[in-house]
Every structure is written in structure tokens, then in C-alpha cells.
Structure 1
Amino acid sequence: MKKAVLFLCSRNRLRSPTAEAIFAGHPDLEVDSAGLSPDADLRLSAEQVEWADLILVMEEVHRSRLIRAFGKLLVGKRVAVLGIPDDYDFMDPALVELLKLRCAPYF
């Protein structure tokens, strides 16, 4: 059975869509991404939280926002902080390498 992994950042424009793109072909994963800010391109929904087995957020502030907005839905869910700042463009090679490195322990 595939693991459902949800990647979160602020606006779902750079970091989390990059993560979704690079892990989309992983044979053991189903992936999705969303943003936590009101102006996110794709704003996080309760359905996404319920779907996910693992939620990987880019920064500690994202975990705090996630808990504030969806705390009750997180019972029994694994949430981890990748520690990736908002310093990269979409599919930036440095971001791709950092995501592969930081996500490896979870897959």
C-alpha cells in the first residue's frame, strides 16, 4: 500500500509544489501539496489532512499554523518539519537536492 504524503508551505507556489513534483513518480508514495496562507494557490483542506499518512511542512511556523487550523484532524498523524526556508524558486536544483536529502528519512 502506498503512503500518502502531504507537503505544506505558505503559498503552495515554490517549495511544496516542487516536493510534489519530484516525488510524484516514487513507487511507494502518493503525494499532494498545499499552502497554509489565505492567499495560497491551493489552500489546505480538511480532506487533504484526513487523506495524509504523513505531513511534511517546510518550516516550524507551518506546523504551528497546521495545528491551529486542523488540530483535531491531526490525532494519530505524523507531522515533521523539514527546515527548508523560503529561499528557492520552483524546481531550483538546490531545492530539489535539499528536499531529497531532508525527505529521505521519512520514505
Structure 2
Amino acid sequence: MKILFICSKNKWRSPTAEKIFHNFNGYDVRSAGTEAGARIKVTDGHIGWADQIFVMEKRHARRLQDKFGHMIYGKEIWNLDIPDDYGYMDEDLIEMLKARVAEYIDVPE
């Protein structure tokens, strides 16, 4: 399964998710951001590649719909509702990611 994690600037939340879920249970994982200054900005290629998309906030889902509406039709997009209050690999962020993603797929303990 190919999983894409989306946040705003692709600095803390989505790269943390990519790191902790990479190669777990055979998942292929990438991350990107929705803002112009994102470390890796989400593209048509990301959207086309992904089987499932996890966004950190509702606004990220809206931005994907606005920019890639034609491409996200039929894709599963899940809002994890994780605010931009954590640094990269923050322990609280990791626990929150594992708990929220576990509602949709099998996750590491």
C-alpha cells in the first residue's frame, strides 16, 4: 500500500509520519506539504501515486480538493486532526500519529 502524509510545510508532522511508518508492513510511505514554502510540495505525481492520503488538518484536505480535485476522486483521504504544535520526531507526536493512523491501517506498536 502506498501512503501519503500531508501537512503544511513538510517539516515536522508529515516527515515524522513518513519516518515512523516507512517500510512497516510493506507500506511505501511519502510525505509532502501544501504551502508554497514546503520542503517537499505536494504534486500531481504524489496524488497519483498514493493509495491512501492522511492529512494533518481539515485545511489540508480542502487545499488538496481545490488543487487536485480531479485526481483525488475515489482516493481515501483521512484527517488525523493533529495541530502544528510538535517538532520533528516529538514523542507526543509519534504516539498521536500511531493512535490516529491505527484507526485506518495496522500500525507499529
TM-score band by shorter chain is over 0.9
CA distance in 2, matches of 1:95, 1:104: 14
Which residue in the other structure is 1:73 paired with? 71
Gaps of 5+ in 2: none
Which residue in the other structure is 2:83 paired with? 85
* SS of equivalent residue, structure 1 residue 106: coil
- RMSD, aligned α-carbons: 0.6
CA distance in 2, matches of 1:106, 1:31: 15
CA distance in 1, matches of 2:26, 2:77: 18
1:24-78 Cα offsets, whole Å, 9 max, x none, are 1302311000000000000001011001000000000100011001000011101
Question: Partner amino acid for 2:44?
Answer: A
When normalised by structure 2's length, the TM-score is 0.94
Which residue in the other structure is 2:94 paired with? 96
CA distance in 2, matches of 1:71, 1:102: 25
CA distance in 1, matches of 2:81, 2:73: 22
Structure 1 moving runs of 4+ over 6 Å: none
Gaps of 5+ in 1: none
